[in-house]
Amino acid sequence: MTCGFKQFIGAVTMVACSMFVAQAHAEDKVLKVGCEPTFPPFEFLDDNAQPIGYDIDIIKAIGEEEGVKIEIVTMPFDGLIPALITAQLDASISGITITEERAKKVDFTEPYYDSGLSAVVLSENKDKFQKISDLSKSRICSQIGTTGAAHAQKISGNVASFNTNPEAFMELRAKGCDAVLLDKPVNGYFLSKSKVGEYYEIPEILNAEQYGIAVKKGNQQVSQILNSGLEKIRKNGKFDEIYNKWFAAKK
């Protein structure tokens, strides 16, 4: 009888212990999330070289809802999908457009932002480039591996692509190309920070795009955490709060 009681206590202790371990495990779960941080207002570095922006707030809010820690890792844009494939990252949030081609290599969460491409030219060339198709004979600057670079290829086939977006804008300024083809909200941010009258955005949106968070193909555990977190922040108002923080002027 005593022995039986001891066994009972032992079993209870073991169950309690494993419950504690499971609990501790959930809280300790860290998601390594990649981004390329020259894409304001989605991801860029603050004065202390810390990544900030819309995407960073979104992924942190998801982490908070789901009780997982988010570790942000920065890397070149064209390295993000390979790093998911080789499982160096759990997810990537980086203004990544959901495309059919990418969806063959990685999984995407539900879309979290509607976007599109636009072209910025020097104001002095405003009359020359009234439509994006007017760039058909132009050299176009963009970022390596982006939808902007892919479309520039279709428009003129003469593309200068850079690792970072500031380099693309610097090249435009130096007249090494006629236009920067990039996501419209990022062009908008650039214009808002530039000297009035220096640059001009061709008033045309090239492509309807949606951003999703990319996950290693088949990693349903991570996809499920991210989708569930997204749904929760959409419901509890956090998503709108973050949207308004970064895009208030446009609403």
Contacts with 57 (C-beta within 8 Å, 6 or more apart), sequence order: 242, 245, 246
Nearer to ligand ARG, 37 or 65 (CB): 37
Nearer to ligand ARG, 63 or 212 (CB): 212
Q: How near is the Cβ of 232 to ligand ARG at its closest, in Å?
A: 24
Q: Coil, strand or helix: which one is 180?
A: strand
Which tokens belong to 2? Answer: 């005593």
Q: How near is the Cβ of 162 to ligand ARG at its closest, in Å?
A: 10
Nearer to ligand ARG, 66 or 209 (CB): 209
* Burial 59-97, CB ≥16 within 10 A → b, else e: bbbbbebbebebebebbbbebbbebbeeeebbbbbbbbb
Nearer to ligand ARG, 99 or 125 (CB): 99
How far, in Å, CA of 221 to CA of 157, rounded?
41
Q: Coil, strand or helix: which one is 117?
A: strand
How far, in Å, CA of 30 to CA of 69, rounded?
5
- The binding site for ligand ARG (CB under 6 A) comprises 35-36, 38-39, 43, 77, 94-97, 143, 146-147, 183
CA-based max dimension of the chain = 95
How buried is residue 206: exposed, middle or buried, by Cβ count under 10 Å (0-12/13-18/19+)? buried
Q: How near is the Cβ of 147 to ligand ARG at its closest, in Å?
A: 4
Q: How near is the Cβ of 39 to ligand ARG at its closest, in Å?
A: 3
Q: How near is the Cβ of 10 to ligand ARG at its closest, in Å?
A: 53
Q: How near is the Cβ of 129 to ligand ARG at its closest, in Å?
A: 21
Nearer to ligand ARG, 26 or 208 (CB): 208
Nearer to ligand ARG, 97 or 161 (CB): 97
How far, in Å, CA of 116 to CA of 182, rounded?
8
